[in-house]
Amino acid sequence: MRVLVVDDDFMVAKVHSGYVERIEGCTVVAVAHRGEEAVELATQLRPDLVLLDVHLPDMSGLGVLSRLRTGMPDDPFVLVVTASDDPATVAAALHGGALHYLVKPFDSAALAAQVHRASQIRRDLDRVRDQADIDRIFGGGGTAQTGGRERMPKGLTTPTAELVARTLREHGADQSASECAEAAQLSRVSARRYLEHFVSTGVVTVRLRYGGTGRPERRYRWVG
């Protein structure tokens, strides 16, 4: 993912750029501190993703969002990053076509989850074949946090799903159900149910690790 970072605060832009550079396969192609500069750089460089602050010195970031979302296939995904959490700004970002909305300050894991989600959506768009593929793209609004905002299966709750998802994301490497359960302070059976749900929604992958004897161990890894 080629990323354009837009923020009027030079230090914040540097921090966010550092977050991006830590994500495998991502690079910062440019940094902008003004709205017009952001539009010009996006037009010239055609980034895959724009991290867009709302409060810019020459224009609102929401105005930049409107100019970036032209409806063309190569439009960048836009992730709004701002200290504003008022409903009007959130609604404007949503209706303007933002991929997601992160309130400052946020950590690198939260950003990485959204970058991975953008990458996955881009891959999914390249292989749309039927309604199920389209449903997966449009229904993935919350996958970076909990594996989906769709109704949770019977017996599973959203708060616990968020806990398991956060535990797996922050660990980075793959985990067994027992390791995840210990870190999240849940029972192994409960953690396994949530992990298998995430596998079914596509935000977690599972691989088998074979030992000397007995059944292979299932290892889970968050992919967003």
pLDDT in tens, 109-126: 788 888 888 888 888 888
CATH code of residue 84: 3.40.50.2300
Q: Say yes or no: 40 and 82 in one domain.
A: yes
pLDDT of the residue at 145: 44
Confidence tier at 71 by pLDDT (50, 70, 90)? confident
Q: Provide the token pair at 73.
A: 């296939």
pLDDT of the residue at 47: 95
pLDDT of the residue at 174: 87
Would you put residue 217 in left (φ > 0), alpha (ψ -120 to 50) or beta? beta
- Please compute the mean of the pLDDT values over residues 63-70 and round it to a whole number: 91
| 44 in a structural domain | yes
Confidence tier at 65 by pLDDT (50, 70, 90)? very high
| 106 in a structural domain | yes
| 32 in a structural domain | yes
| 139 in a structural domain | no
Q: Say yes or no: 165 and 93 in one domain.
A: no
CB 53 within 8 A of CB 6: yes
- Please compute the mean of the pLDDT values over residues 63-67 and round it to a whole number: 94
- Please compute the mean of the pLDDT values over residues 131-155 and round it to a whole number: 59
CB 125 within 8 A of CB 74: no
Q: Say yes or no: 114 and 6 in one domain.
A: yes
- Inform me whether the pLDDT recorded for 69 exceeds 90: no
- Does an H or E element contain 218, and which? strand 217-222
Residue with tokens 């027992």: 178
Q: Say yes or no: 71 and 159 in one domain.
A: no
Q: Say yes or no: 100 and 54 in one domain.
A: yes
- Collapsing DSSP states into helix, strand and coil, what is residue 168? helix
Between the CA atoms of 7, 108, 71 and 86, what dihedral angle is there, to the nearest 10 degrees? -70
| 128 in a structural domain | no
- Please compute the mean of the pLDDT values over residues 187-211 and round it to a whole number: 85
Q: For residue 54, what are the domain limits?
A: 2-121
pLDDT of the residue at 212: 64
Q: Say yes or no: 37 and 80 in one domain.
A: yes
CA gap 35, 53 in Å, rounded: 9
How many beta carbons lie within 10 A of that of residue 35, not counting itself? 23
Cis peptide upstream of residue 73 (ω within 30 degrees of 0): no
Residue with tokens 């991290």: 51
pLDDT of the residue at 139: 60
- Please compute the mean of the pLDDT values over residues 25-32 and round it to a whole number: 95
Q: Provide the token pair at 147.
A: 């594996």
pLDDT of the residue at 148: 43
Q: Say yes or no: 117 and 153 in one domain.
A: no
| 152 in a structural domain | yes
**Cβ burial 116-146 (10 Å sphere, 16+ → b, else e):** bbbbbbeeeeeeeeeeeeeebeeebebbbbb
The distance from CA 197 to its chain's CA centroid, rounded to whole angstroms, is 18
Count how many domains the chain has: 2
| 127 in a structural domain | no
